[in-house]
């Protein structure tokens, strides 16, 4: 497990819990995660995300992307009534701006989005990485923890 001070173990478990929770919704309910690009998708696939992953960087204006995602996934998830999209932009300054912009555009269409994964990863992983694609280097440490949490919790 990578080092990171006296609270590193707690931080890694905190990140793993957040990832396990969203991975379960992504797999079982097909709740999409919206990330910035292909390398972010690659990192999440290595962490076991098998459901829909959408990218911002596809050459479309943000308005078109948000409208497309609204049309494809709706304003609320049809099964559990929860957020229909998970926003996971990098937790650097640029990612923060993009996250706020996307949040506002989704909100203008009354689309419920989940931003909790980004907030939790920002707290837990900031010493090691500030970007989603950076988690590719943390797979060996995070994946066993995520899998252990998955095995200990009942399915959705």
Summarised one tens digit per residue, pLDDT across range 90-100 is: 999 999 999 99
Of the candidate CATH numbers 3.40.1360.10, 1.20.140.10, 3.90.550.10, 3.30.530.20, the domain formed by 8-146 belongs to: 3.40.1360.10
State the pLDDT at residue 29: 95
For residues 31-44, give the mean pLDDT: 97
CA-wise closest residue to 2 among 105, 119, 129? 129
Nearest CA to 105 out of 154, 146, 148, 70 is that of 70
- CA 152 to chain centroid: 21
Tell me which of 136 and 126 has the higher pLDDT. 136
Q: What is the pLDDT of residue 6?
A: 53
Retrieve residue 63's tokens: 């308005």
pTM for this prediction: 0.92
Residue 1 has a pLDDT of 47
């Amino acid at each position: 497990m990578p080092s990171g001070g006296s609270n590193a173990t707690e931080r890694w478990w905190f990140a793993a819990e957040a990832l396990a929770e969203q991975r379960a919704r992504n797999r079982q309910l097909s709740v999409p995660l919206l990330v910035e690009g292909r390398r972010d998708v690659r990192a999440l696939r290595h962490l076991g995300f098998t459901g829909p992953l959408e990218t911002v960087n596809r050459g479309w204006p943000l308005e078109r992307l948000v409208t497309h995602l609204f049309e494809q996934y709706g304003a609320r998830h049809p099964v559990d009534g929860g957020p229909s999209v998970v926003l996971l932009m990098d937790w650097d300054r640029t990612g923060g701006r993009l996250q706020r912009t996307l949040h506002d555009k989704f909100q203008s269409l009354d689309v419920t989005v989940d931003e909790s994964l980004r907030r939790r990863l920002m707290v837990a992983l900031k010493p090691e990485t500030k970007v989603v694609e950076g988690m590719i280097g943390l797979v060996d440490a995070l994946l066993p923890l995520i899998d252990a949490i998955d095995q200990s919790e009942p399915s959705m």
